[in-house]
């Protein structure tokens, strides 16, 4: 080892020690499994590139790739067009109004994707709410379930919070005095928006668009439940190649194609923009609370309806007297709530989800705190490397991670085990836990730490009595994100769980796909109530800590 390397290690020993746990974890359970998947794509019976030749000479597979790209681009553009005015209004408000606008987005974000998927089935199916409403106005009806249009609409509703938060974060850092200066110099409102506001908000536009596009590429649940085999997307094709056709090399080739599509978008934007989705502080309060256009408020009201109503649809569906998803339900009964607690599959899957989510929360929070401490002690270049390392699972489509862990866990006999679920969910939850924890640690005033050390306190005592209490809000936020991401995880759980061990989202997915069972509506209603209480409690806690 050269003297330069020894000096580097000596200078950065504490950073390396803090990063060691998360580096080892991600190397073993993320990087290596993904590499194995990519290598499998070149190891088929048809030769090194045989699987790719088979894939691209199959017109059905090519159409699926094109359809996936079109849907991902459509969802991204629609989320941007819908979310930009809403985020702009959030920046312009304050107090209770801002809390309400933010709370709606948080509630939608934290609401289980299975709850919203079930709601969209009810809305879009034949004789569903939309179909009946169209018939009521005298038209022939409109059945969108099983269509690409229906899948796109449902995906937009689910992905909208992922666009709004980066947009708001970027807009919150814009100094509104620049806008006022532009207007004072004679520029029109449109010119000011086009030449001042839009360029300054572009990091949020790019960051949100990348997150939505990449997530949409690998979206599995809604295309599987709201769509149909005739318009399946690439994620479902990969799952079918593994579980139905049993063609692992071809599934690996399809996964690499999906990954390359994601990287073609992610890499150029990461070079120029920050897509981490971090938080920003207002550059100034000037302009907040000013009177806004009535059209902007109407638009915000429509967005609130889009975000909340699909989830609320499931509540009345949990009380029918008969086994039906018809809306409005016939009769009133609590039998489906009783069945949830009495049925071994439903209650057992709930217990498993809670158990796994708690373990994932602890693991993700601890790893994120270590990485955050390393981040605040690092140079600007090293910080970029640390962020890229921890956030990489966020920019890789979930179905690729699921397939990679499925292959690894088969070798290590971790499939259908609680340990396997905890590891898999931690990979998915880490980026979400890391962002608020790292942001809080970066804002921590180092003078408190220096004062403690000058008074003779050890590093452990300083961390326990000074740092830990001051970053508790960020830790609580990160822990909440990790718990929700784990509890709501479907795709990875479908791959690594089984009949003997299911999480609640997997049980809900199987129920919707295979049966008409209003128990899923009862489970969805309880999850909605739990989500609402969690959002309210966390908002109150954060507000009190900030006072």
Rounded-to-integer distance, Cα 286 and Cα 72, Å: 37
User: What's the angle, vertex CA 81, arms to CA 76 and CA 84, rounded to 5?
Assistant: 105
**pLDDT score of 272:** 65
Rounded-to-integer distance, Cα 501 and Cα 543, Å: 39
Other C-beta atoms lying within 10 Å of the C-beta of residue 284: 11
**pLDDT score of 135:** 84
Those residues with Cβ within 8 angstroms of residue 366's Cβ, 6 or more apart along the chain or in another chain: 21
User: What's the angle, vertex CA 201, arms to CA 280 and CA 302, rounded to 5?
Assistant: 95
Rounded-to-integer distance, Cα 237 and Cα 427, Å: 23
Q: Are 330 and 316 in contact (CB under 8 A)?
A: no
**Which pair of tokens denotes residue 105?**
């987005």
Burial of 510 by CB count in 10 Å (0-12 exposed, 13-18 middle, 19+ buried)? middle
How many angstroms separate the Cα of 24 from the Cα of each of 362, 367, 389, 393, 536?
A: 17, 11, 11, 14, 36
**Which pair of tokens denotes residue 225?**
């439940």
User: For the chain, how many helices (H) and strands (E)?
Assistant: 29, 0
**Secondary structure (3-state) at 160:** helix
Closest CA to 116 of 161, 81, 71: 161
**pLDDT score of 253:** 92
- Quote the pTM value: 0.87
Tell me which DSSP letter residue 195 carries: I
How many angstroms separate the Cα of 148 from the Cα of each of 64, 237, 322?
A: 12, 15, 31
Q: Are 238 and 248 in contact (CB under 8 A)?
A: no
Rounded-to-integer distance, Cα 315 and Cα 241, Å: 36
**pLDDT score of 278:** 46
**pLDDT score of 279:** 43
**pLDDT score of 270:** 65
Rounded-to-integer distance, Cα 37 and Cα 252, Å: 5
Those residues with Cβ within 8 angstroms of residue 425's Cβ, 6 or more apart along the chain or in another chain: 356, 357, 360, 485, 486, 489, 492, 493
Q: Give bridge partners of residue 19 from the DSSP assignment.
A: none
Phi/psi at 95 (nearest 5 deg)? Answer: 65, -140
Residues of the chain with pLDDT under 50: 8, 276-284
Closest CA to 478 of 440, 443, 446, 445: 440
Q: Are 311 and 119 in contact (CB under 8 A)?
A: yes
Tell me which DSSP letter residue 518 carries: T
Rounded-to-integer distance, Cα 76 and Cα 152, Å: 10
Rounded-to-integer distance, Cα 470 and Cα 440, Å: 9
**Which pair of tokens denotes residue 413?**
């006999």
Element (H, E) at 260: helix 248-272
**pLDDT score of 366:** 94
**pLDDT score of 280:** 46
Q: Are 73 and 213 in contact (CB under 8 A)?
A: yes
Quote the radius of gyration of the chain (alpha carbons, Å).
24
């Amino acid at each position: 080892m050269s003297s330069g390397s020894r000096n580097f290690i000596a200078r950065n020993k504490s950073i390396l020690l803090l990063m060691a746990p998360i580096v080892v974890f991600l190397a073993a359970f993320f990087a290596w499994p993904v590499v194995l998947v990519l290598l499998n794509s070149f190891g088929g019976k048809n030769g090194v590139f045989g699987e790719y030749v088979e894939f691209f000479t199959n017109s059905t597979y090519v159409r699926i790739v094109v359809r996936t790209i079109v849907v991902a681009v459509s969802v991204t553009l629609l989320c941007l067009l819908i979310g930009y005015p809403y985020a702009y209004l959030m920046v312009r408000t304050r107090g209770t109004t801002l809390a309400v606008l933010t709370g709606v987005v948080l509630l939608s974000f934290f609401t289980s994707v299975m709850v919203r998927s079930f709601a969209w089935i009810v809305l879009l199916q034949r004789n569903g709410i939309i179909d009946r409403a169209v018939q009521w106005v005298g038209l022939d009806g409109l059945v969108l379930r099983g269509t690409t249009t229906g899948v796109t609409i449902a995906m937009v509703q689910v992905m909208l919070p992922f666009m709004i938060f980066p947009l708001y974060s970027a807009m919150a850092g814009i100094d509104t005095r620049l806008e006022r200066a532009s207007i004072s110099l004679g520029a029109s409102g449109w010119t000011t928006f086009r030449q001042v506001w839009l360029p300054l908000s572009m990091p949020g536009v790019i960051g949100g668009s990348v997150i939505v596009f990449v997530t949409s590429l690998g979206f599995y649940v809604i295309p599987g439940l709201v769509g149909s085999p005739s318009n399946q997307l690439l994620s479902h094709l990969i799952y079918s190649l593994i579980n139905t056709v049993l063609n692992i090399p071809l599934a690996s080739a399809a996964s690499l194609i999906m990954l390359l599509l994601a990287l073609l978008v992610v890499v150029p934007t990461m070079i120029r923009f920050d897509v981490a989705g971090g938080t920003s502080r207002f550059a100034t309060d000037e302009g907040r609370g000013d009177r806004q256009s009535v059209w902007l408020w109407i638009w915000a009201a429509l967005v609130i309806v889009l975000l909340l109503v699909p989830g609320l649809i499931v509540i009345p569906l949990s009380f029918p007297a008969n086994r039906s998803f018809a809306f409005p339900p016939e009769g009133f009964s609590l039998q489906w709530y009783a069945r949830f607690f009495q049925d071994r599959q439903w209650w057992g899957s709930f217990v498993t989800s809670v158990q796994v989510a708690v373990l994932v929360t602890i693991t993700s929070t601890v790893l994120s705190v270590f990485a955050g401490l390393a981040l605040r002690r690092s140079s600007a270049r090293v910080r970029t490397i640390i962020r890229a390392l921890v956030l990489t699972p966020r920019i890789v489509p979930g179905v690729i991670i699921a397939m990679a862990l499925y292959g690894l866990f088969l070798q290590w006999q971790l499939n259908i085990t609680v340990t396997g679920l905890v590891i898999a969910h931690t990979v998915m939850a880490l980026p979400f836990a890391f962002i608020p924890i790292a942001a809080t640690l970066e804002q921590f005033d180092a003078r408190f730490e220096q004062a403690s050390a000058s008074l003779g306190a050890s590093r452990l005592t300083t961390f326990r009595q000074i740092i830990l209490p001051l970053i508790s809000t960020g830790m609580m936020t990160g822990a909440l994100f990790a718990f929700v991401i784990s509890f709501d995880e479907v795709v990875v759980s479908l791959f690594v769980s089984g009949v003997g061990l299911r999480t609640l989202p997997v049980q809900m997915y199987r129920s919707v796909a295979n049966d008409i069972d209003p128990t899923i509506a009862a489970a969805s209603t309880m999850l909605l109530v739990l989500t609402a209480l969690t959002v309210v409690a966390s908002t109150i806690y954060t507000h009190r800590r900030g006072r």
